[in-house]
């Protein structure tokens, strides 16, 4: 048996008949940049998330970059975020000449530790970026309270968290901005790059709409300096179709997570693997199913031999990346992030997995530890 980490070909087979005619229609019309397909998808996203404004951009990375530009982050400013995230979160801060001020993560959820944020706020802090890592919300009540008190906008990195709920609300509309990614491996993935900024504030939505087209709401009149960062019609066309199936796919991911839990418990494996902690009352969408395990690297090699795909998200926390040497951090600065980088492993969780495949994964983990 083979169990890849992700099988996008299996998903494509289920939507091919619907997607291909839409792609053909767009090609016949030759309208590729923004346009009615993008507007229609933006509307559907707003309905899905229950957030009034959605603005399609070129990627999840650009969603963060444009949000930081929109709140006025300047060279030399500081932005608070977690070092245990995909690089884009920190990279977008640095692209603007600002400085990422890292805050360590919670041991249970791997999300930014809200209790450590206050101590990192200085007079140069301009924003806070919590990341809803793996598909689980950060502790937004506390984060909003601390940020509001300091007058700081919050930009939610929701790239892994489409449909994730925090206290019955979908994430992306709690802070000033929500940033989504349609990178193919995200829960709602396009046929290429794509992203979206969401907000509940009309003026902020207008700002992002201006920034994505070189700061011009009226063509060839530039009120500010922006980017070229637009969602294209082909992606929007594909994504609008896939959005209809998102809840169904998410339910399958959640079902797979509960099946894993049951199997790990039944096999007496919980002393070797720490199951993902899903904070009660909130909805985890399992973009990744991540365990903290003993002898991680050996386990990974063992599973690879059994044709089971795994991944390490992420092997090097941002503060120890080569490009951030200039920040002067050292090993030990963010111990929970460093531990997570050494101890975690992501298992296949995608919706099309069969029960046999899941059982095969757990059996192999059982074999490794016995």
- Residues found near ligand PLP in the complex (CB under 6 A): 59-61, 85-86, 88-89, 131, 157, 159-160, 181, 183, 193, 195
Minimum CB separation of residue 183 from ligand PLP in Å reads 4
Cis peptide before 296 (omega within 30 of 0): no
In the complex with ligand PLP, the residue whose CB is nearer, 53 or 86, is 86
Minimum CB separation of residue 349 from ligand PLP in Å reads 15
Minimum CB separation of residue 285 from ligand PLP in Å reads 13
What's the Cα-to-Cα distance from 187 to each of 4, 16, 121, rounded to whole Å?
Answer: 16, 17, 33
Which residues in 84-99 are b (16+ Cβ under 10 Å) and which e? Answer: bbbebbbbbbbbbebb
Minimum CB separation of residue 27 from ligand PLP in Å reads 24
Q: How far apart are CA 314 and CA 85, in angstroms?
A: 7
In the complex with ligand PLP, the residue whose CB is nearer, 136 or 357, is 136
Q: Which residue is nearest to ligand PLP (CB)?
A: 60
Half-sphere exposure of 169 (CA within 13 A, CB side): 13
Provide the sign of the torsion angle of the four alpha carbons 283, 289, 290, 293, taken in this order: positive
Partner residues linked to 345 by β-bridges: 291
Contacts of 271 (CB under 8 A, 6+ apart): none
Minimum CB separation of residue 284 from ligand PLP in Å reads 15
Minimum CB separation of residue 133 from ligand PLP in Å reads 7
Q: How far apart are CA 84 and CA 318, in angstroms?
A: 7
- CB 237, CB 20: distance < 8 Å: no
In the complex with ligand PLP, the residue whose CB is nearer, 290 or 358, is 290
């Amino acid at each position: 048996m083979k169990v890849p980490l992700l099988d996008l070909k299996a998903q494509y087979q289920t939507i091919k008949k619907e997607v291909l005619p839409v792609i053909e229609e767009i090609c016949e019309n030759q309208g590729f940049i923004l346009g009615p397909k993008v507007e229609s998808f933006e509307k559907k996203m707003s309905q899905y998330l229950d957030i009034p404004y959605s603005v399609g951009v070129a990627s999840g990375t650009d969603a963060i970059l444009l949000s930081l530009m929109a709140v006025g982050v300047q060279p030399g400013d500081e932005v608070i975020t977690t070092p245990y995230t995909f690089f884009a979160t920190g990279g977008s801060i640095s692209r603007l000449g600002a400085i990422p001020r890292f805050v360590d993560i919670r041991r249970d959820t791997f999300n930014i530790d809200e209790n450590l944020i206050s101590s990192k706020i200085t007079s140069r802090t301009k924003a806070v970026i919590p990341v809803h890592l793996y598909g689980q919300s950060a502790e937004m009540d506390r984060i909003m309270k601390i940020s509001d008190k300091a007058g700081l906008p919050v930009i939610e990195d929701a790239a892994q968290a489409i449909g994730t709920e925090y206290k019955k609300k979908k994430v992306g509309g709690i802070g000033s901005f929500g940033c989504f990614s349609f990178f193919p491996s995200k829960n709602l993935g396009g046929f290429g790059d794509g992203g979206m900024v969401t907000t509940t504030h009309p003026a902020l939505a207008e700002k992002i709409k201006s920034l994505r087209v070189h700061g011009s709401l009226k063509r060839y009149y530039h009120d500010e300096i922006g980017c070229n960062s637009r969602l294209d019609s082909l992606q929007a066309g594909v994504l609008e179709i896939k959005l209809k199936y998102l809840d169904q796919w998410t339910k399958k991911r959640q079902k797979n997570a509960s099946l894993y839990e049951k199997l790990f418990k039944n096999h007496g494996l919980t002393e070797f693997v720490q199951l993902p902690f899903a904070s009660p009352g909130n909805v985890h969408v399992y973009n990744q199913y991540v365990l903290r395990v003993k002898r991680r690297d050996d386990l990974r090699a063992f599973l690879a031999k059994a044709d089971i795909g795994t991944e390490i998200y992420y092997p090097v926390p941002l503060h120890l990346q080569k490009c951030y040497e200039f920040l002067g951090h050292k090993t030990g600065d963010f111990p929970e992030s460093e531990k997570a980088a050494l101890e975690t492993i992501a298992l296949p969780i995608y919706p099309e997995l069969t029960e046999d495949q899941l059982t095969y994964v757990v059996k192999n983990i059982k074999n490794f530890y016995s």
